[in-house]
Amino acid sequence: MKHLSTGKEGEDFAVRFLKKKGLKILERNFRTPIGEIDIVAKDGSTIVIVEVKTRKGLGRGHPLEAVDLRKQKRLRRLAQLYLKIKGYNEPPVRFDVLGLVRDEEGFQVSYVKDAF
């Protein structure tokens, strides 16, 4: 269960990081029957779906590599469901990916804005 605490720690860091970038956090861990969106934010009038991947090292590859085509398709479906549930009428939507690698000094950050 240690990976869950690493993931939560990464998401907490991601929220602070995104706020410093000027994004407004709307939701965290938005759960649906088909999956979960880590963070939903707003950047101006754009809804931003943020996928956060946290690793303790690169033994399993870089965290950004985990957001493959299958994950991207799922995030698109989740975004459509989120917009419908929340009553948004086709606002601009962007998908960002935040890859975090934990080391002794904190997190190494890879942030891809408009990743796909």
Taking only the tens place, the pLDDT of each residue in 72-106 is 999 999 999 999 999 998 899 999 999 999 988 88
67: tokens are 């957001």
Sketch the domain layout of the chain as residue ranges: 2-112
Q: What is the pTM of this model?
A: 0.91
112 secondary structure, DSSP code:
E
How far apart CA 112 and CA 25 sit, in angstroms, is 17
- Could you tell me what percent of the chain has a pLDDT over 70? 97
2-112 carries CATH number 3.40.50.300: no
Q: Please compute, for residue 71, the number of CA atoms within 13 A of its CA located in the half-sphere on the CB side.
A: 19
pLDDT of 2 above 70: no
Q: Among 65, 56, 61, which Cα is nearest to 102's?
A: 56
Give the list of residues 6+ apart from residue 114 with CB closer than 8 angstroms, or none.
Answer: 94, 95, 96
52: tokens are 């956060």
